[in-house]
């Protein structure tokens, strides 16, 4: 009898235990259904503004994770103000915006990790410490690194002008040279590369030396600044009037430009150049170009170009991985109308990041993707003092107005990522202030 009752009740109470793990799995999948993860790798120009855009346009059930090895966003286009800023020990702070100030709400999760490898087949990103991130869509915006193989061994007094820390060390070293050790010996500063970075660095150094001479009234030694350029002119990708004006400006600042000269190697405080000459230097800045960041493992199926940049299609999808979008300095994007590669600028990086963010939203909604149309190039090149060259479409400006436009451009960008008072404070600090003050207000 009892047995019979049990048998009747069995359908109500019996539950096959071996199915439990499967059911948990199905329940987990149902919960995560529609919960996509967008991973943004790199908190540079191509990563930060798109992450803000993603947090605005993507629905709440989409996780947005930003990964960067650093916890700050670096403002490389403002490095040219280094000669004016006091408190140079903390100089990098003037160019660094803490990421938590840009993303205070927590909508964008911040992971401070170095990306080690990406596995598109399993949609996994592996960090240097072994941590894993599973993504549905990804923006790959890891930027670039100085791309030179010129240095044999560990060379002293060589800088690249590509990070706030490097700019600080360079300034420190220069001040020591000028003020300290060998007050009477002539100093030779060599800048390798007459592109945007090389020209800005040369002009900034000349400005700093003039500042020391005028303000400290020190009897500093004779200083020779030589800019070495492999081609026959400066700023190869700019329009002719910009190249010409930049050359005249550097000449006026006392900088000697040597064209058709290539740095072959650097060894023992000497630069070996293409004509077979050897030039001794006291300070060397190598601004001879950049290449895409290398991960520990190559991304399967991707054909990197000779500068380690990643080819992208017109929708900015990584070829051949359609769920990964590429933006910024690490992207190899061909400009069909102008028939050349899109050059790596902050301006281009921001726009590419935006297109990538929009396309992710459209992919999630099942819509057609939008193409990336590179805008007409805009160059603002600060060349010491209150002087900059501005070139955009039909507008050609030179001098203090160019400099004012550069500063306005910088403020406008800061205001697009920070509340106005913070943007204004950092903007002022980055131009004239004490670097030390920046993080106190921004934290």
Contacting residues toward ligand FAD, per CB under 6 A: 42-47, 67-70, 76-77, 79, 114-115, 141-143, 161-162, 196-197, 200, 293, 328-329, 344-347, 349, 380
Q: How many CB atoms sit inside 10 A of residue 89's CB?
A: 11
- Give me the least distance between CB of 160 and ligand FAD, in Å please: 8
- Give me the least distance between CB of 181 and ligand FAD, in Å please: 27
**Residue 273 or 407: which CB sits closer to ligand FAD?**
407
Q: Is the peptide bond before 236 cis (omega within 30 degrees of 0)?
A: no
- Give me the least distance between CB of 79 and ligand FAD, in Å please: 4
- Give me the least distance between CB of 130 and ligand FAD, in Å please: 14
- Give me the least distance between CB of 50 and ligand FAD, in Å please: 9
**Residue 273 or 326: which CB sits closer to ligand FAD?**
326
**Residue 273 or 325: which CB sits closer to ligand FAD?**
325
- Give me the least distance between CB of 312 and ligand FAD, in Å please: 12
Residue 90 in 3-state DSSP?
helix
**Residue 142 or 273: which CB sits closer to ligand FAD?**
142
**Residue 202 or 363: which CB sits closer to ligand FAD?**
202
**Residue 317 or 345: which CB sits closer to ligand FAD?**
345
Distance, CA of 136 to CA of 125 (rounded, Å): 11
Which residues touch 141 (CB under 8 Å, ≥6 apart)? 40, 41, 42, 44, 46, 47, 50, 326, 327, 328, 330, 349, 353, 356
- Give me the least distance between CB of 275 and ligand FAD, in Å please: 28
**Residue 328 or 385: which CB sits closer to ligand FAD?**
328
- Give me the least distance between CB of 59 and ligand FAD, in Å please: 25
**Residue 141 or 438: which CB sits closer to ligand FAD?**
141
**CA neighbor of 56 nearest in space, from 386, 361, 396, 305:** 361
- Using Cβ positions, the residue closest to ligand FAD within the complex turns out to be 44
Per the CB < 8 A criterion, the answer to whether 209 and 220 are in contact is yes
- Give me the least distance between CB of 78 and ligand FAD, in Å please: 8
**CA neighbor of 408 nearest in space, from 49, 86, 78:** 78
**Residue 273 or 382: which CB sits closer to ligand FAD?**
382
Which residues touch 306 (CB under 8 Å, ≥6 apart)? none
**Residue 70 or 188: which CB sits closer to ligand FAD?**
70
- Give me the least distance between CB of 330 and ligand FAD, in Å please: 6
């Amino acid at each position: 009898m009892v047995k019979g009752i049990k048998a009747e009740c069995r359908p109500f109470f019996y539950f096959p235990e071996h199915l439990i793990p499967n059911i948990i799995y199905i329940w987990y999948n149902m919960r995560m259904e529609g919960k996509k993860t967008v991973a943004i790798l790199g908190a540079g120009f191509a990563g930060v503004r798109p992450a803000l855009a993603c947090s605005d346009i993507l629905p709440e059930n989409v996780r947005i994770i930003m990964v960067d090895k650093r916890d700050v966003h670096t403002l490389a286009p403002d490095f040219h103000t280094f000669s004016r800023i006091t408190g140079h020990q903390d100089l990098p702070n003037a160019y660094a915006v803490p990421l938590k100030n840009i993303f205070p709400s927590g909508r964008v999760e911040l992971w401070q990790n170095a990306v080690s490898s990406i596995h598109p087949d399993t949609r996994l990103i592996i960090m240097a410490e072994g941590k894993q991130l599973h993504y549905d869509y990804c923006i790959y915006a890891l930027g670039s690194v100085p791309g030179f193989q010129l240095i044999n061994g560990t060379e002293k007094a060589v800088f690249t002008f590509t990070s706030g820390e490097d700019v600080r060390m360079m300034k420190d070293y220069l001040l020591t040279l000028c003020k300290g050790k060998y007050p009477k010996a002539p100093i030779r500063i060599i800048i390798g590369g007459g592109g945007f970075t090389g020209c800005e660095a040369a002009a900034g150094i000349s400005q700093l030396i003039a500042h020391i001479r005028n303000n400290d009234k020190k009897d500093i030694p004779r200083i020779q600044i030589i800019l070495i350029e492999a081609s026959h002119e400066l700023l190869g990708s700019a329009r002719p009037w910009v190249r010409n004006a930049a050359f005249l400006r550097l000449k006026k600042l006392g900088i000697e430009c040597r064209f058709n000269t290539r740095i072959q190697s650097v060894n023992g405080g000497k630069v070996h150049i293409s004509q077979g000459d050897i030039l001794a230097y006291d300070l060397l800045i190598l601004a001879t170009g950049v290449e895409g960041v290398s991960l520990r493992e190559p991304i399967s199926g991707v054909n990197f170009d000779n500068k380690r940049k990643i080819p992208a299609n017109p929708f900015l999808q990584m070829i051949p991985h359609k769920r990964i979008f590429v933006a910024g300095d690490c992207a190899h994007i061909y400009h069909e109308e102008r028939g050349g590669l899109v050059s790596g600028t902050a301006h281009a990086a921001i726009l590419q990041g935006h297109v990538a963010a929009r396309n992710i939203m459209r992919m999630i909604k099942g819509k057609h993707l939008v193409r990336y149309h590179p805008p007409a190039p805009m160059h603002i090149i600060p060349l010491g003092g209150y002087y900059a060259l501005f070139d955009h479409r039909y507008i050609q400006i030179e001098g203090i107005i160019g400099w004012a436009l550069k500063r306005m451009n910088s403020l406008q960008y800061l205001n697009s990522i920070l509340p106005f008072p913070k943007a204004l404070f950092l903007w002022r600090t980055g131009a004239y202030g004490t670097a030390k003050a920046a993080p106190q207000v921004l934290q």
